[in-house]
Structure 1
Amino acid sequence: MRTTKDRIRQAVMFEAIGLLLSIPLAALTFGLDLGKTSVLGVIGATMATVWNYLFNLMFDHALKKISGSTRKSIKARFVHAVSFEFGLMLAFLPVIAWWMGVGLFEALVIDIAFVVFYLVYAFVFTWTYDLVFPDNNEGTVTR
């Protein structure tokens, strides 16, 4: 299992890099004000950072209980990314509608765009993170 310090490093790195990529992309794609989009990004990153820590802790405990290891197969990485983003999407949808002053449908479109971006990004980031910062206590994998 990863240490608390490692989990914090992972969450902060994930959100910082994600913000640098997603904010200008969202503002450009949807023709949104960069300032409002930046604040929305920070709100979303704050929500996601808390969710990231809690979700990864719960996911690793469940994975270790099921497989005896925290090492993630391709299938586990897919389940991890999809379930993380779905939970965050549900929480972020009303925030987008409120902050951007748009209806729920437009907020849903924006939210889905963020989800698609972050699904790909989460998969690539967590895989890269695991390669760069391996969990030395992960044990063996049963497939």
Structure 2
Amino acid sequence: MRTIADRIRHALSFEIIGLILMIPLGALLFSMPAQDIGVVGIVSATVATAWNYLYNLVFDHVMQRSRGTTQKTTGVRIVHAVLFELGLLVVLMPFIAWYLHVSLAHALIMDVSFALFYVVYAFVFNWCYDRLFPLPEWKKAQAAE
């Protein structure tokens, strides 16, 4: 399993790179000032960082208990990313509606758009992160194959 330091590196790098991509794309897509999308992005990233740490810790423990490893298949990676984003959607939609003074329906569209971006981003980021920082148990499993 990953160390606390590794989980912190993972969560922070995920959110920083995500913001660098999401703020200009969100401002362009929704025709809103980058500052407003930036505030939504920063608040969302702060909530998501805490959620990322907790969610991945629990997910890894569940995987370790149920499968005996934290190594993820493509299917597990898809489920992992979708469940992560659904949790955030529930928390962030009311904040987006309130801060941007938009309806809940509009906030839902925006939140779903951000979530779709982040589902794809999370899949790619986590795949790359696992390649850059593989766990020793994965190396043993690959050597045994």
Q: TM-score, normalised by structure 2?
A: 0.94
Asked if structure 2 preserves the Cα contact closer than 8 Å seen for 1:2 and 1:137, the reply is: no
Instruction: Give 2:22's aligned residue.
Output: 22
Asked if structure 2 preserves the Cα contact closer than 8 Å seen for 1:68 and 1:140, the reply is: no
1:55: how far off?
0.1
Instruction: Give 1:69's aligned residue.
Output: 69
Gapped regions of structure 2 (runs ≥ 5) = none
Greater fraction of residues in helix: 2
CA distance in 2, matches of 1:80, 1:136: 21
Q: Does 1:133 align with 2:141?
A: no
- Residue identity (%): 50
1:36: how far off?
1.1
CA distance in 2, matches of 1:79, 1:106: 26
Secondary structure class of the residue paired with 2:99 = helix
Instruction: Give 1:108's aligned residue.
Output: 108
CA distance in 1, matches of 2:87, 2:135: 25
Q: TM-score, normalised by structure 1?
A: 0.95
1:34: how far off?
1.0
2:26 aligned partner, one-letter code:
A
Instruction: Give 1:46's aligned residue.
Output: 46
* Per-residue Cα deviation, 1:74-99 (whole angstroms, up to 9, x for no partner): 11101100000000111110010011
Secondary structure class of the residue paired with 1:72 = coil
1:136: how far off?
1.6
CA distance in 1, matches of 2:59, 2:141: 17
Q: How many residues align?
A: 141
Q: Does 1:83 align with 2:80?
A: no
Gapped regions of structure 1 (runs ≥ 5) = none
* Per-residue Cα deviation, 1:29-80 (whole angstroms, up to 9, x for no partner): 0001111111110000000000000000000000011110000001110110
CA distance in 2, matches of 1:136, 1:48: 27
Across the aligned residues of Structure 1 and Structure 2, the Cα RMSD in angstroms comes to: 1.2
1:137: how far off?
3.6
